[in-house]
Chain A
Amino acid sequence: MDKLLTLTALRRVIQLTAFVFFVYGAMIFATFYTGDKLTQSLPALSCAYDQSGGDFCALIPLQHQMDHRVSSIFTQGEKVLPALMGTLITLGTVAVLILILNKAFCGWLCPLGFFQETIGMIGTKLGLTQMGTLSRETITKIRPIKWFIFLFLVLILPLLTGIGFLGHEWGNPYCSICPSRIMTTAMTGDMSQVYISQANWGYFALSLIADLLFGLMIALALFVRAPFCRICPILPMQTLFKKIGLLRLVKNGSSSCESCGNCVKACPMDIYEIQESAENKNITHADCTLCGRCIEFCPHDGVMNFKYGPVTILSSSKEGFKKRTKIDKWWRG
């Protein structure tokens, strides 16, 4: 039993609970918040298209606000503050949630993150060769994609749609390609989001990208860790507020860190920067999901830490490392 008492095991339990709540929440609870999802924008991919879900991610209101409200500054001469009020409220909500949990929304609560990790576990059990850490070169190429998606698909294209430069299909282009839309609806037995649209070229392109991306994500998740998370536009949005997050990854590194590299090997997002020496420094990177695997797999006492405000809540240790390595070997068979 003690074997199972690890940070990852705790994370899996919380991920599963969050998955049930976010995907099926309204079937279980009948409160205002779960009943009609009129509020609560989460910095995690909890899809608004899921009619049984308990909440929704902040990206859908952001796109709608760009399309319908912010655009009115240009089209109707609306005053800036009233036009931006909805966006400011959404961002304010996200900021408050980031303050509480920081980027742990990704590593601990996101339904799509859990879905990918579950497929990864299946891939491991099927005996598929896991890719391990991606090269620095590959990571450098991938990293800007999420910013591109955030800026263009979440903000700029919906805004241009609202102004009238683009057709209605570009009003929420990120949702149109998001794998979470297909995954969460399919999980409730609703397959209506799996389609190729022939309405026009825009709808066709977006629906084709969505389906190809979903299939690709499932296949990649079998042997690559967190394939979609690497380009997810939630990460840039969280990065805007990560400085205020109370939960953070703090490193008090020793000189042996750079030669060890265990933390990078353990990191599902392949963040090479975390192996660099640091003294009592917040190293929560833009790509970090605060999953805590680097803490579990660090063999040095007190080098990698989870801190909540001034309080250290988890530290790396030799004992913890030994236990975690043993479990990892057992899991991989």
Chain B
Amino acid sequence: MKKILLFLVAALLVASTAFAGKKYVISVTQIVEHPALDAMRQGVADRLKEKGIDFDYNVHNAQNNMATNTQIVSQIIGEEPDLVLAIATPGAQACARKIHDTPIVFTGVTDPVTAGLVKDLKNTDGKNITGLSDFSPIDKQVALIQELVPGVKTIGIIYNSGEPNAVPILKALKEEAAKVGIKVEEATIANSSGVYQAAKSLVGRCDAVYVGTDNTVVSAIESAVKVCEDNKLPLIVGDVDSVARGAIAAEAVDYYKMGLQTGDMIARILVDGVKPADMPVEFLNDLNLHVNMKAAKAMGVTVPQSVLDRADKVIE
């Protein structure tokens, strides 16, 4: 009996060291340097380390060049990775086109169905790809605007019509606003130098301004802050970083936490052997609410206690 037990323990030890000894190769394609995208990549790595998974992280960055983005896919195939992590839409599309056996996990893709990555959010077409969508919970953001600006009739949105992520947000905002009887006024820009003028064009046309997770607008959010402060127009945003930069509030995804959750999905594929085809597209479970009291005062908004009570961070 003792011998058998000893044998079992030994076998278990051997098995566990064999497991611990496995070093995975994870190849990463990222379209461009961007704080949110970098945070996601870091989050994935941190979660995998937490779980004790040993891996090589081959990171490629296309520096916003689509030709390089496609070329990275051949680099990745040559690296023979155990799994491909595709950060943002263009990288995920290029990988999905060329890689059909190795599991692909995407993250930071706003609309994976329209991007052609998966057939539907349940991921029913049985391919080697799944991932996490960073689609902002627009319903919660509309509710937040209503809480902060009681009696809001019209929301103005500034967005870049050339950004794949911005267009579905506009569509969702229109749908969610219509449900509660709010009108949407649009101001579209082509590059970040247009934000100031776009914000000005909304003055008098709306009761509050909204900016979603739109890289072009967010990169120049200060211009919108200035116009909104000058005109006592509340500015509510779709990313928490912009709150520190002068917007009143955001209830939004935290990209680092997105990375952590993506890391969980990757661990399930690598360690538990779950097939990407059996994993539906996930959304971020954990949202963050940030409030900026100074900005609220400058834009003539009294933040209700109900919002302060559930805030993760209040900037005085």
Q: Are A and B subunits of one complex?
A: no
**Which residues of B are at the interface with A, using a C-beta cutoff of 8 A?**
none
